[in-house]
Amino acid sequence: AALPDYFVNAQTLAPRDHVAMQAAAQEWVDSSISKTINCPEDIGFEEFKDVYLSAWDLGCKGCTTYRPNDVTGSVLSVSEKSETAPEADQGADVVYLTEPLDRPAELEGATYKLKWPGSEHAIYITVNDIVQSGHRRPFEVFINSKNMEHYSWTVALTRMISAVFRRGGDVSFVVEELKAVFDPRGGAWMAGRYVPSILAAIGGVIERHMIAIGFLEGEGKGLKSDPKAEVMTIGEAPGGPACPSCGQYGMRMVEGCMTCPSCGHSKCG
């Protein structure tokens, strides 16, 4: 049996009613709220304008509208109902990410020792590979150290990077994202190059492994590069660590306190 007309979903609810539903809660919300609305593809200009006027009249902070098109798409898309599919199988399409690659019982890999200046214990990075179509590609990463200060974030990083690697595809962006991380406390000089953070150093290790197995052609050959990293590799080392307030390098000891010469920030208050 067909449902009554007052039973609607996100696709059949009129845009103005979308705004009214959100505005109904505004009275009990301390901060202003806004609404994101899917508009019909054939919506007219006057009706479209009325959506924003309604948001203003009803006390909403504002609204964002999406009209389905090939460029921006829509917030929620519903597939056409199949004439042959059972009723229970009809409805919105669910978009799945690529299924993770199966892990073999045994993998080949390499372990790298990373000694960050100023840290008592080294970090050991293991990258295991899988062979696909005769080519090796990174499959998982393990990061270990005796320094328990790093335990929580290294475990999280291990799991996230491994999850990305196991999805396959061009995962070189992981390297570039790591290399682009800057530590506000300052980086370190390693092998004649300024590395902006310990995460950037880990990214460099993974990049070297990718190059060694032939997954990358060379350094900086990922999906994108970080221009700031190139600037920091040229010239002399900064005179001191970066200021946590303005980010400028060159903090120095003044009367027993680390002080920034650029903005005057002092660790002593």
Q: Using alpha carbons, select from 198, 196, 203 the residue that is nearest to residue 177.
A: 203
Write the CB contacts of 188 (distance below 8 Å, at least 6 apart in sequence).
116, 117, 118, 194, 195, 201
- Say if residues 158 and 142 touch (Cβ distance below 8 Å): yes
What sign does the dihedral 65-70-74-77 (CA atoms) show?
positive
Residue with tokens 């597939």: 79
CA dist., res. 204 & res. 197, Å (int): 11
Token pair for 106:
């045994």
CA dist., res. 81 & res. 76, Å (int): 15
pLDDT on residue 61: 65
pLDDT on residue 126: 95
Angle formed at CA 182 by CA 186 and CA 249, multiple of 5 degrees: 35
Write the DSSP symbol of residue 249.
B
207's enclosing H/E stretch is helix 198-212
pLDDT tens for each residue of the chain, 269 residues long = 566 766 776 667 777 777 787 777 777 776 666 667 777 778 888 888 887 887 777 777 667 777 766 655 555 555 555 444 444 444 445 555 567 778 888 899 999 999 988 788 899 999 999 988 788 899 999 999 888 877 888 899 999 999 989 887 788 889 988 988 888 888 888 888 888 899 999 999 999 999 999 888 777 655 433 333 333 333 344 556 777 766 666 777 776 677 877 777 776 76
- Say if residues 39 and 67 touch (Cβ distance below 8 Å): yes
Q: Using alpha carbons, select from 144, 147, 154, 159 the residue that is nearest to residue 111.
A: 144
pLDDT on residue 97: 56
DSSP per residue over 22-55, as a string?
HHTTGGG-SS--EEEEEPPTT--HHHHHHHHHHH
Our separate counts of H helices and E strands in the chain read 6, 9
**Global pTM value:** 0.49
200's enclosing H/E stretch is helix 198-212
DSSP 3-state of 223: coil
- Per domain, the residue ranges of the chain are 15-77, 108-237, 239-269
- Say if residues 103 and 167 touch (Cβ distance below 8 Å): no
